[in-house]
Amino acid sequence: MGSKNKLKRFRENSTFSNVIQPEREDLLLNSFPLKGKWHSEYFKNENPITLELGCGKGEYSVHLAELNPQKNYIGIDTKGARFWRGAKTALENDLSNVAFIRAQIELITQLFDKGEVAEIWITFPDPQIKYKRTKHRLTCPELLNQYKQVLVPDGVMHLKTDSEFLHGYTLGILNDSAYEILYAHHNIYNNDYSPTEATAVQTFYEKMFLAEGKPITYTQFKFK
């Protein structure tokens, strides 16, 4: 994507009513005004909130919002030029139950209050294979602990990835009494019993991976 296109999308994002771009300083100072008030101040309903972390173009957030008008969806990514597409599509389709935040995922507890989130999807994140990047893996123990803080009791986590490394790494982390694995498979499109929510939406990157013959893995779990 050219720099002119990126700048254009950044400018458009600033005009979109469904895009929130908090200042990092406000998050670090724990002064983000929507924390604990997403239901009352933003969505203006008490419907459960689902997050898509590393949402990319926002396909999952938008599609799930279309399928489930009784739920709210928020895509989070640091790349505003990517989720511009999802935000624009949501506005064009008059979807009031989906929003996007430009922020770092490690600041999730500054964005949401305890028990404010019902579900979390992690869709095709960078697997961060190098050891020195361990803390940046979106299923590392430190980040999982943060997710637990914002999730309701029995809130469900979903990981969908083409990375066998990240799939295996995550299963290793989940092999602990603190977690309950609800479903796990290394190739959801070669399995008759894959959950519908895991196969109903194919992201831009997922379609590329499938075209290359890569198996798509899926794990669903919750905290005990």
CATH number of the domain enclosing 163:
3.40.50.150
What is the distance between the alpha carbons of residues 175 and 189, in angstroms, rounded to a whole number? 24
Q: State how far the Cα of 114 lies from the Cα of 205, in Å rounded to an integer.
A: 32
Q: What is the pTM of this model?
A: 0.93
- Residue 200's pLDDT is 85
Q: Distance between CA atoms of 63 and 174, rounded to whole angstroms?
A: 28
d(CA 62, CA 99): 9
Give the residue ranges of the chain where pLDDT is below 50. Answer: none
Catalytic residue IDs: 126
Per-residue model confidence as pLDDT tens digits over 160-212 = 999 999 999 999 999 999 999 999 999 999 988 899 989 988 888 899 999 99
pLDDT value of position 143: 98
Structurally, how many domains does the chain consist of? 1
Q: Are 76 and 51 in contact (CB under 8 A)?
A: yes
SS (H, E, C) 113-133: CCCCEEEEEEECCCCCCCHHH
Range of the domain at 158: 3-223
